A = this chain, B = another copy of it.
Amino acid sequence: MQTDKNIELTISDGHASAPPKAAKKILDVAYDLFYRRGIRAIGVDEIVKRAGVTKPSLYRSFPSKDELAASYLRQYDLEFWERFDEAVDAHPGDPRAQIIAFLTRVGKRTQNPDYRGCGMTNAAVEYPERGHPARVVSEDNKQELRRRLRAMAAAMGAPDADTLGDGLLLLIEGAYISGQLFGLGGPAQSVARNADLLIEASLKE
């Protein structure tokens, strides 16, 4: 229920007081393990072992494993929007090009042999219980993504912008899942192409 201790590492790190060094290592390791192998599959013992710290150190920085998972997803959220906005900023005023740029990069990433999809999506699958700390972060991220996609669809001038925005979201989520289900050469590599076709059809409608 506390949100005090672990926010330090987002604001500190750089200037004067540099105490929470263990917390950063823990979060880094947890990020990697949670993403690659799943949250439920990883125990706190393995995290502290790989981080070179001890268990009490983890529980001094994070109130529980569930909250550590939520912190991992908050970090994921930050980096996700960095990637997203990178594509957006590359094509100012051209939402269609922004989407395609983003999806082209997603399509490429899915062809990485150890691609593991979207950490947000995976966490929501792992934790179907409503209100779970990790799921809350995931749901918020997806709500915001939906909002932005619909806004971009509207900016494209689509007659039914909400449907197009949702269609793009479906393609994106499909790419995340297919990327980790099929190996190389999976359906996810065509996500940008399919999105372009869908946009084309939706604008002409």
Contact = CB atoms under 8 A, between A and B. Distances in A.
Interface of A: 36-38, 40-41, 116-117, 121-122, 124-126, 128-129, 138-139, 142-143, 146, 162-167, 169-178, 180-182, 187-188, 190-191, 193-194, 197-198, 200-202, 205
Nearest to A167: B194
A125 B174 contact: no
Instruction: Classify the secondary structure of A's interface with B.
Output: helix
A36 B174 CA distance: 21
Contacts of A146: 182, 187
Contact of A128 (B36, B193, B200): B36
A191 B62 CA distance: 40
Given A38-B40, A143-B182, A177-B177, 10 more contacts: A38-B128, A124-B180, A124-B181, A128-B180, A139-B181, A166-B190, A167-B187, A167-B194, A169-B187, A170-B170
A48 to B, nearest CB: 21
10 contacts: A37-B128, A121-B181, A122-B125, A138-B181, A165-B187, A166-B190, A170-B190, A173-B177, A197-B198, A198-B198
A173 B36 CA distance: 20
Nearest to A36: B128
Given A40-B41, A126-B38, A126-B125, A173 B178 contact: yes
A181 B169 CA distance: 12
B167 A197 contact: yes
Which among A146, A174, A180, A201 has the greatest number of chain B C-beta atoms within 10 A? A174
A170 B198 contact: no
A144 to B, nearest CB: 12
Nearest to A114: B128
Contacts of A117: 125
B187 A125 contact: no
A188 B173 CA distance: 11
A200 to B, nearest CB: 5
